[in-house]
Amino acid sequence: MVGRADLVEKLRRHPLQRALRADKLTLAALEATLTVAIDAPDEIPVVRMLRESPETVRARATRLAELVDGEVEETVARAGGGALPLTELPSFACAVGEELAAKLRTGDPPVIALVRDGRTLLDCRTLADDEIEEVAEAIRRCR
């Protein structure tokens, strides 16, 4: 706890303090997570995705589009809820036919994509480089 000394002391003496405090396992997990976040942030997939340059994402989208005869489309990735509900990042997607969306979702492995303006968009900000071949194969199987 941090804050005014009188309030911290009041919280320290509260009967629920002992029941609600973080235990050693929770603190160890938090420490390990923060260590990775500071020392090797790109090992955390979400952090890697948020930090990637649009040029890197475009290159991945181009590679996927070449493998599946798709088109590269500029788009916007949304970081999602939590602390970043309105954050938008420039991104690039591989666009294929709209009819593939349902087949991709029910495939093995399932591939979740956005459908917009009659096309299925595979946002390449959310793909790792080593997943491109697997997604391309999933698209080929759905055709």
Q: For the chain, which residues make up each domain, given as ranges?
A: 5-39, 52-142
Strands 88-97 and 114-116, how do they pair? unpaired
- Angle, CA 18 vertex, CA 13 and CA 24 arms, to 5°: 130
CB contact at 8 A, 87 and 46: no
Rounding to the nearest 10 degrees, give the CA dihedral for residues 137, 69, 62, 37: -30
pLDDT in tens, 17-63: 888 889 999 999 999 999 999 999 999 988 899 999 999 999 999 99
CB contact at 8 A, 127 and 135: yes
CB contact at 8 A, 43 and 34: no
pLDDT in tens, 68-108: 999 999 999 988 777 777 789 999 999 999 999 999 999 99
In this predicted structure, what is the pLDDT of residue 2?
Answer: 84
Domain 52-142 = CATH 1.10.10.10 = no
pLDDT in tens, 107-138: 999 999 999 999 999 999 999 999 999 999 99
**Residues 6+ away with beta carbon under 8 Å from 96:** 68, 70, 119, 120, 122, 139
For the entire predicted model, the pTM comes to 0.77
- Structure tokens given for 116: 């917009």
49-72: string of b/e by CB count within 10 Å (b at 16+)?
Answer: beebeeeebbebbbbbbebbebeb
- DSSP bridge partners of 78: 88
In this predicted structure, what is the pLDDT of residue 1?
Answer: 74
Q: Does residue 42 sit in helix, strand or coil?
A: helix
